[in-house]
Amino acid sequence: MKNIVRIAFTAFALTASLLAQPRKLPVSVSCSTEDKDYVAKRLCSSLQDQVMRSPRYQLVSDNDDLHWEISFASAAVSTAATASSTVLAIKDDKGQELVDHWATITGSKQVESQAEDMFAAVDEKIMAIIRAVSSSKSQVTEQ
């Protein structure tokens, strides 16, 4: 329960800062891949590109105080495929809180579509949290 409250509070802080001034949501993408896992390197790079092209998000360094964080770790399955674990968290100066995670296996021919799917899942989760926090905020204001 403590983690849910912290996630809600941190998401509220991110949402409030956006309402105060129109700007993009800060997101960092950190990648941990094996040296010869070229599929994972391409997948991570493509995921970073998805964030940079997005009208809603801004790619930031992991050192920024308050932001969403996508952590990506992989292990080569073969020269043409990688297994990866992706974690979405909210990160602030006190640490980070896990929001969601998933695992995938990606072949070299599916890199772009997999990155698009991963980014869509991240976007959907972040927007659901922001809607829930905004709804809770308006209910508290009405009372």
Res. 53 pLDDT band, cuts 50 70 90: very high
Mean per-residue pLDDT over the chain, rounded: 83
Kindly report, residue by residue over 97-142, the tens digit of the pLDDT. Answer: 888 899 999 999 999 999 999 999 999 999 998 888 887 765 555 5
Instruction: Please give the average per-residue pLDDT across 74-99, as a whole number.
Output: 87
Find the range with the poorest average confidence among 5-9, 36-40, 89-93, 124-128.
Answer: 5-9
d(CA 68, CA 53): 16
- The closest of 46, 8, 51 to 27, measured between CA atoms, is 51
The whole-number pLDDT of residue 42 equals 95
Domains contained in the chain, CATH given: 2-130 (3.40.50.10070)
pLDDT at residue 133 in the model: 82
The pLDDT score that the predictor gives to residue 23 is 80
Give residue 16's pLDDT.
54
The mean pLDDT value for 23-29 works out to: 89
Structure tokens, 120: 């869509």
pLDDT at residue 67, rounded to an integer: 87
Dihedral sign, Cα of residue 7, residue 101, residue 111, residue 40: positive
